[in-house]
Amino acid sequence: MAKSASKTSVSEKPDNPPYLRAVVARLPRYRAGRHRLADETSEPRAILSANENPYGCSPDARSALVRYAEQGGLHRYSDACSDASLHEALVANLATFCEEQEGCSPSPEQVLLGNGSDELIDLLAHATIERGCNAVVCAHTFPLYALAVRAHGGEVRVAPRTAPAYALSVERCAALCDERTRLFFLANPDNPTGRMEDRATLHALRAALPRSVLLVLDSAYAEYVASARYDSGLAMAWRDESVVMLRTFSKAHGLAALRLGWAVGSRKLVAALQSLRLPFSVNAAALAAASAALKDREHVLRSCNDNLQERTRFADWARGAGLRPLESHANFLLLDCGSEVRARSLYRQWEGAGFLVRLCAQNDLPHMLRVTVGTKQEMDALFSVPFDLPCCDVADSRSSVGLSVEQPSL
Domains of the chain: 21-50+299-405 (3.90.1150.10), 59-295 (3.40.640.10)
Q: Give pLDDT, residue 30.
A: 79
Alpha helices, DSSP H, located in 111-168: 116-128, 144-151
Please state the pTM of the whole predicted model.
0.89
CB 76 within 8 A of CB 285: no
Peptide bond into 210 cis (omega under 30): no
Strand locations in 154-284 (E): 155-159, 161-162, 167-168, 181-187, 214-218, 243-248, 261-264
Q: What share of the chain is helix, strand, coil (3-state, %, to 5)?
A: 40, 15, 45
**299-346 pLDDT tens trace:** 999 999 999 999 999 999 999 999 999 999 999 999 999 999 999 999
Alpha helices, DSSP H, located in 197-336: 199-208, 234-239, 267-276, 284-295, 297-320
What stretches in the chain show pLDDT beneath 70?
A: 1-14, 79-84, 392-410
Question: Could you give the CA distance from residue 287 to residue 91 in angstroms, rounded to a whole number?
Answer: 10
Q: Give pLDDT, residue 14.
A: 52
Question: Could you give the CA distance from residue 84 to residue 341 in angstroms, rounded to a whole number?
Answer: 53
Q: Give pLDDT, residue 392.
A: 61
- Residue 163, classed as helix, strand or coil, is coil
Strand locations in 6-165 (E): 46-47, 111-114, 134-138, 155-159, 161-162
Q: How far apart are the first and last CA of the chain?
A: 73
